[in-house]
């Protein structure tokens, strides 16, 4: 089993993801430089958070044209597991692997804080060790996390159970007050129809050790391992 | 119209110009004149401050290492490098870019030592928020810090925000950065080895920021002049790539020295690297990457375009280094080499435009400035507290204090900063100190900035001592042993004797207290000329302090954790009100003297708290500062998601109730612990001779404070929280 963490110029959560996979999850992991145009032997690709290419133009808009994205897209179409976190989620949206788009946060501020999210679908490669309805305490840190999708596509998304995480209150209620950024339907993370590509705004790598205040995100990484082992 | 001599417009005095003539034995070229003007400015040359700065202690509990641009302490096999620097005037002129480039500049000072930047803190000061321009400044500065710091992936974990009339017209932005480097990988800012190459890396050079340090930073704001063109523009994405590329390039071992092109740009980096390496450097300006056409040689030498650095590379290894920078899509160009003659020689298209001894540039003339005690001080100090009456309702006074922007929650600010990236922040902003674990070890470091400038106005010597003592106390509350200081000394015009008197007393105060605690000052920065037409800022010697935690599992936070815990006061209430936030907010006066500071008492309180935290005996520890005992207890009740009430019973004698509740006596810490640990904590307090008083219990949904059995404060937690949590944002909206 081998993980790969993509490094764009401006990625800044690449080392954090690498650390969790190598030192907490204890799995083999390599960095993948964005100029690489081939991928060999990876079982899961993580596109980390940060400001790829300075997020100039639009978050993720330049990164999608990076040489590495072609093999990543091919890998995803072949059923490979791709996890996009924060800026990685934005890159997945820009590259068409996931539907929808990100708007600026409702209050037009960068927000870094702990929030709560609820597991809406625990049948994916990334959430299979959670129970449906589990509530996670997890940090967000973004300026553009206000998820948007048009009405028809939202319907499809819901019907296919592609909404994986929603922002919720501490008690697990999905309500406007628990929505930090204005995302449609409190959506915090979605998967593709096949369930092998996941994008999420919250940072599971920042809450994979209790020492940091929450270990609730670790099962995202563990779920991947469990999924790959069963495959 | 008489034309002012060019050297005067560059900020040089007549006598300095004469000295330049003596050094060169001829008239300087325009480029040489420009180079002298920046290197001999207060900002680069510390002409007026250096003599006093030599007093500051450079040794302490941990081994100290002082580099060209920053300093640090050695812990086991790594070095914690840190420094704080001001970017006040640029921020007053253009808050977003001023603050952003302040963050960028200080972080470059850290990673040019080979250290990976692991955290930033920012100490910010503005005029009152009822003035729309001050609101604009606060919003702009916070925006600049988040814009730059978040993109870099360096967490902004702490700092402070103060408001005072004296900062209207001259805000303060002091940025601190901390980095970690393995001992063997430490890099220096010097050039030597005849024939070695000088390479320029990073962004191209434009006309931005020309004379920023001599014109903007070394003069006071007088009126309406347009200084915006002297502010640089930051590009955090380039800096992020520069950090990665530089840390990678340093791994090759081919870099002899490397230095940021910060204030005074190429002039400063080239001449100071030559000076530090006791060698000569020749550069050819035609090789310098440009973003503007037809730049004069002196403009290239003076430009403060951001995200640029200069490195000295071992001959023959240039391509390997250039390749690393190009991998990150950055410029890297050989622009010169180390020469035998000890001069900095600048050529433009082969024509020599400057040749100066780097020692002459580096050794700016030093001045003994006249000083005298300000006349107003005796009147301020002789304030008689009995002339103010006690409030009828202490509960509403407490609510007012908690909603003062100085005391209120700074969540609106720190939630805009990424304070968790790098996954080391184990105590998040909102406690006494931020704590960062050091991966791969059991250790952690705690960091804090502190200065109450009102105390420094009323009593500069003691005020500066209190800034150091309180910073140390904050660290102790988190479980860290205070280890080392960086200082950012913000003052008015040093040419005015009353301002220089403040500076002198503050430096002496820091010196004496640091010696007492055995804490070295490893780096720092002086910012003079912080004046607006209304007058000088309060003397503001901002202290940045680092503490070491040996066992990262034993850290402590400021908020109560359990119902039914015992609440302890370490230290004693002195009944003082001078310089307090209470006096300012409720009675509209900044008078009296700064609170007393008994260093022995301070030490015993700190030792007691630290040992109690290290032994895992306590659940929370919080320093009593602005707003006094009542505000400190209230903060312990409401600053976590799980609020816990408290019942406090005070049995003090005859002092005023307002002084008991809101006075800002020093050397006090509020602790909570389970009942069974009380006797062990008492033993520790006995050992260190610290006064310990059990003052109450946690629990319930209210904060109640009794004095000699009569209830003087009774407030539901939700009221306290509402007043404290949203006040800053409310002030920003409404003024």
CB contact under 8 A, B421 and A56: no
Mean pLDDT of B322-326: 96
Q: How much is the pLDDT for B230?
A: 60
Question: Within this chain, do residues B231 and B275 fall inside the same structural domain, yes or no?
Answer: yes
Return the number of other C-beta atoms located less than 10 Å from residue A41's C-beta: 9
CA distances from B426 to B80, B95, B374, B431, B437 (A): 18, 30, 45, 11, 6
Q: Does one domain contain both B447 and B509?
A: yes
Q: Assign residue A112 a region (left: φ > 0; alpha: ψ between -120 and 50; beta: otherwise).
A: beta
Average pLDDT over residues B501-516: 98
Q: Which pLDDT value is given to residue B218?
A: 57
Determine which of B222-231, B348-357, B563-572 has the lowest per-residue pLDDT on average.
Answer: B222-231
Looking at the complex, does the CB of residue A18 fall below 8 Å from at least one CB of chain B? no
- Which pLDDT value is given to residue B158? 96
B105-126: burial string, b at 16+ Cβ within 10 Å, e else? bbbbbbbbbbbbbbbbbbbbbb
The answer to whether A141 contacts B422, with C-beta atoms less than 8 Å apart, is no
Q: Which has more pLDDT, B8 or B107? A: B107
What's the pLDDT score for residue B421?
A: 98
What is the per-residue pLDDT for B264? 78
Q: What rounded mean pLDDT belongs to chain A? A: 96
Q: Looking at the domain assignment, is residue B380 inside a domain? A: no
Thinking of the domain A3-230, which architecture would CATH place it in?
3-Layer(aba) Sandwich (3.40)
Is residue B58 one of the residues assigned to a domain?
A: no
Out of A216-220, B25-29, B677-681, least confident range: B25-29
Is B499's pLDDT higher than 80? yes
* Contact state of A53 with B425 under an 8 Å Cβ cutoff: no
**CB B490 within 8 Å of CB B542:** yes
Grade residue B466 by pLDDT with cuts at 50, 70 and 90.
very high
Query: Looking at the 3D structure of chain B, how many domains does it have?
Result: 3
d(CA A48, CA A56): 17
* ipTM computed for the complex: 0.97
pLDDT band at B69 (very low <50, low <70, confident <90, very high): confident
User: Distance (Å) from the C-alpha of residue B526 to the closest C-alpha of chain A?
Assistant: 32
B42 and B142 part of one domain: no
For residue B651, the model assigns a pLDDT of: 84
Examine residue B246 and state whether it is found in any structural domain, yes or no: yes
Taking a C-beta distance cutoff of 8 angstroms, is the pair A193, A164 a contact? no
pLDDT(A90) > 80: yes
The answer as to whether B145 is a domain residue is: yes
Nearest CB to B421 within list A10, A16, A113: A16
Phi then psi dihedrals of residue B499, to 5 deg? -70, -40
DSSP string, B176-194: EEEEEEEGGG---S---ST
Q: How far apart (Å, rounded) are the C-alpha atoms in residues B367 and A141?
A: 49
Q: Is residue B367 part of a domain?
A: no
- pLDDT the model gives residue B10: 83
| Closest chain A C-alpha to B109 CA, distance in angstroms | 20
% chain B with pLDDT above 70: 96
Instruction: Kindly indicate the confidence band of residue B216, based on its pLDDT and cuts at 50, 70 and 90.
Output: low
Quick check: A217 pLDDT over 60? Answer: yes
Q: Are residues B199 and B324 in the same domain?
A: yes
pLDDT in the model for residue B721: 97
Among chain A residues, CA nearest to B426: A212
pLDDT of residue B224: 47
- Residues of B serving a catalytic function are 43, 87
Residues B210 and B292 in one domain: yes
Q: Which of B486, B432, B464 is nearest to B625 (CA)?
A: B432
Q: Are B617 and B682 part of one and the same domain? A: yes
Instruction: Give pLDDT, residue B2.
Output: 44
B150 touches chain A (CB under 8 A): yes
Distance between CA atoms of residues B656 and B624, nearest Å: 18
**Phi, psi angle pair for A123, to nearest 5°:** -100, 5
The reply to whether the predicted model has a pTM over 0.90 is yes
Q: Give the pLDDT score at B655.
A: 84
pLDDT band with cut points at 50, 70 and 90 for residue B85: very high
Chain B contact present for A10, CB below 8 A: yes
- B362 vs B460, residue with greater confidence: B460
> Do B544 and B578 belong to one domain?
no
The pLDDT value recorded for residue B42 is 84
Q: Are residues B543 and B569 in the same domain?
A: no
**Band of pLDDT at residue B211, cut at 50, 70 and 90:** low
Give yes or no for a contact between B657 and B390, defined as CB atoms under 8 angstroms apart: yes
Q: Give the nearest partner residue to A211 out of B146, B437, B641, using CB atoms.
A: B437
CA dist A85 and B719 (Å) reads 38
DSSP state of B529: -
Query: Up-side HSE of residue A155: CA atoms within 13 Å toward CB?
Result: 2
pLDDT value of position B4: 65
* Residues of chain A contacting B242 with CB distance shorter than 8 Å: none
Instruction: Say yes or no: B108 and B250 in one domain.
Output: no
Per the listing, tokens 């991966």 go with B439
A139 interaction partners in chain B (CB closer than 8 Å):
420
Q: State the DSSP string of B43-78.
A: HHH-TTTHHHHTTS----SSEEEE-SS-EEEEETTE
Q: Which of A94, A120, A144, A205 is catalytic?
A: A205
Question: Min CA distance, B347 vs chain A (Å)?
Answer: 35
- pLDDT tens-place string over residues B621-674: 999 999 999 999 999 999 999 999 999 999 867 789 999 999 999 999 999 999
On whether residue B60 sits in a domain, the answer given is no
Q: Return the CATH number at B638.
A: 3.90.650.10
Return the pLDDT at B654. 77
Q: Are B528 and B622 part of one and the same domain?
A: no
pLDDT of residue B716: 98
Query: What pLDDT score does B337 carry?
Result: 97
What range defines the domain where residue B704 resides? 385-400+556-734
Shortest distance between the Cα of A13 and any Cα of chain B, in A, equals 7
Mutate to test the interface with B, among A5, A110, A180, A181 (most CBs of B within 10 A): A110
Q: What is the mean pLDDT of chain B?
A: 93
- Is B640 a member of any domain? yes
Displacement of CA A121 from its chain's centroid (Å): 14
Q: Which run of H or E residues covers position B468?
A: helix B460-478
Shared domain for B243 and B256, answered yes or no, is: yes
Of the three residues B494, B529, B549, the one that is the final residue of a domain is B549
Please tell me if residue B381 touches chain A, with a CB cutoff of 8 Å.
Answer: no
- Taking CA atoms, what residue in A is nearest to B239? A10
Residue B279 lies in a domain: yes
What is the Cα–Cα distance from A170 to A188, expressed in whole angstroms?
Answer: 15
Please list every residue in chain B whose beta carbon sits closer than 8 Å to the beta carbon of residue A213: 426, 428
Same domain, B328 and B198: yes
> Of B523, B549, B575, at which residue does a domain stop?
B549
Q: Is B426 on the interface with A (CB under 8 A)?
A: yes
């Amino acid at each position: 089993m081998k993980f790969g963490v993509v490094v764009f110029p401006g990625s800044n959560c690449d080392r954090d993801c690498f650390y969790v996979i190598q030192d907490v999850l204890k799995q083999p992991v390599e960095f993948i430089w964005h100029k690489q145009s081939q991928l060999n032997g990876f079982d899961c690709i993580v596109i980390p958070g940060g400001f790829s290419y300075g997020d100039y133009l639009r978050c993720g808009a330049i990164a999608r044209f990076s040489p590495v994205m072609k093999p990543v897209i091919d890998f995803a179409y072949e059923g490979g597991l791709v996890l996009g976190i924060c800026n990685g989620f934005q890159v997945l949206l820009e590259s068409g692997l996931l539907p929808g788009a990100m708007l600026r946060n409702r209050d037009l501020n960068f927000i870094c804080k702990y929030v709560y999210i609820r597991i809406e679908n625990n049948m994916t490669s990334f959430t299979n060790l959670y129970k449906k309805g589990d509530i996670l305490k997890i940090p967000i840190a973004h300026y553009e996390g206000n998820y948007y999708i048009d009405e028809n596509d939202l319907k499809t998304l819901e019907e296919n159970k592609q909404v994986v995480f929603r922002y919720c209150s501490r008690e697990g209620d999905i309500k406007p007050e628990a929505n930090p950024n204005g995302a449609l339907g409190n959506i915090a993370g979605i998967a593709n129809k096949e369930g092998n590509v996941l994008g999420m705004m919250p940072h599971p790598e920042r809450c994979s050790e209790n020492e940091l205040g929450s270990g609730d995100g670790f099962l995202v990484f563990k779920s991947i391992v469990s999924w790959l082992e069963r495959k | 119209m008489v034309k002012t001599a060019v050297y005067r417009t560059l900020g040089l005095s007549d006598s300095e110009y004469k000295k330049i003539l003596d050094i060169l034995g001829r008239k300087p070229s325009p480029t040489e004149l420009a180079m002298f003007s920046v290197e001999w400015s207060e900002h680069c040359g510390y002409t007026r401050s250096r003599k006093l700065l030599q007093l500051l202690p450079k040794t302490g509990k941990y081994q100290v290492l002082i580099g060209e641009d920053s300093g640090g302490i050695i812990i086991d096999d790594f070095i914690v490098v840190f420094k704080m620097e001001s970017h006040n005037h640029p921020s007053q002129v253009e808050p977003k870019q001023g603050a952003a480039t302040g963050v960028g500049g200080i972080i470059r000072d850290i990673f040019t030592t080979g250290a990976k930047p692991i955290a930033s803190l920012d100490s910010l000061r503005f005029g009152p928020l009822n003035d729309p321009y001050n609101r604009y400044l606060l919003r702009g500065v916070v925006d600049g810090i988040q814009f730059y710091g978040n993109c870099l992936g360096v967490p902004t974990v702490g700092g402070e925000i103060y408001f005072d009339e004296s900062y209207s017209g001259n805000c303060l932005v002091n940025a601190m950065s901390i980095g970690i480097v393995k001992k063997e990988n430490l890099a220096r800012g010097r050039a030597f080895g005849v024939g070695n190459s000088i390479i320029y890396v990073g962004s191209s050079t434009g006309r931005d920021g020309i004379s920023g340090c001599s014109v903007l930073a070394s003069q006071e704001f007088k009126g309406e002049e347009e200084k915006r063109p002297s502010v640089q523009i930051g590009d955090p994405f380039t800096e992020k790539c520069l950090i990665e590329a530089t840390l990678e390039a340093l791994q090759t071992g081919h870099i002899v020295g490397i230095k940021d092109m910060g204030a005074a740009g190429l002039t400063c980096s080239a001449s100071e690297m030559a000076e530090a390496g006791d060698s000569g450097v020749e550069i050819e300006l035609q090789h310098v990457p440009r973003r503007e056409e037809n730049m004069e040689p002196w403009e290239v030498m003076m430009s403060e375009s951001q995200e640029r650095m200069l490195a000295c590379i071992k001959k023959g290894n240039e391509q390997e280094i250039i390749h690393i920078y190009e991998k990150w899509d950055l410029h890297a160009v050989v622009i010169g080499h180390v020469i035998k003659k000890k001069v900095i020689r600048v050529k433009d298209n082969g024509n020599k435009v400057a040749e100066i001894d780097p020692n002459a540039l580096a050794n700016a003339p030093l001045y003994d400035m006249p000083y005298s005690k300000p006349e107003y001080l005796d009147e301020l100090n002789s304030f008689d507290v009995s002339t103010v009456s006690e409030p009828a309702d202490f509960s509403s006074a407490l609510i007012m204090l908690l909603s003062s922007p100085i005391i209120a929650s700074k969540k609106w600010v720190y939630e805009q900063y990424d304070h968790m990236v790098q996954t080391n922040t184990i105590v998040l902003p909102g406690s006494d100190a931020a704590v960062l674990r050091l991966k791969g070890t059991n250790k952690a470091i705690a960091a804090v900035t502190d200065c109450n400038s009102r105390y420094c106005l009323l009593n500069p010597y003691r005020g500066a001592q209190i800034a150091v003592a309180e910073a140390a106390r904050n660290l102790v509350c988190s479980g860290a042993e205070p280890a080392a200081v960086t200082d950012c000394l913000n003052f008015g015009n040093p040419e005015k004797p009353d301002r220089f008197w403040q500076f002198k007393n503050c430096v002496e105060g820091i010196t004496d207290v640091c010696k007492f605690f055995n804490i070295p000052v490893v780096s720092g920065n002086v910012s003079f000329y912080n004046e607006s037409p209304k007058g000088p800022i309060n003397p503001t010697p901002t202290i940045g302090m680092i503490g070491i935690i040996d066992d990262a599992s034993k850290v402590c936070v400021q908020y109560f954790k359990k119902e039914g815990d015992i609440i302890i006061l370490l230290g004693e209430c002195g009944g003082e009100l001078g310089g307090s936030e209470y006096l300012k907010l409720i009675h509209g006066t900044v008078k009296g003297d700064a609170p007393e500071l008994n260093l022995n008492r301070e030490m015993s309180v700190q030792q007691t708290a630290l040992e109690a935290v290290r032994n895992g005996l306590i659940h929370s520890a919080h320093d009593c500062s602005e707003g006094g005992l009542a505000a400190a207890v209230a903060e312990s009740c409401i600053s976590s998601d799980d609020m816990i009430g408290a019942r406090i019973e005070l049995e003090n004698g005859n002092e005023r109730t307002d002084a008991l509740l809101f006075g800002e006596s020093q050397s006090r810490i509020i602790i909570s612990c389970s009942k069974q640990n009380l006797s062990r904590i008492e033993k520790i307090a006995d050992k260190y001779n610290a006064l310990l008083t059990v003052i109450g219990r946690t629990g319930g949904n209210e904060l109640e404070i009794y004095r000699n059995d009569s209830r003087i404060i009774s407030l539901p937690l939700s009221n306290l929280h509402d007043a404290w949590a949203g006040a800053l944002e409310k002030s920003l909206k409404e003024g």
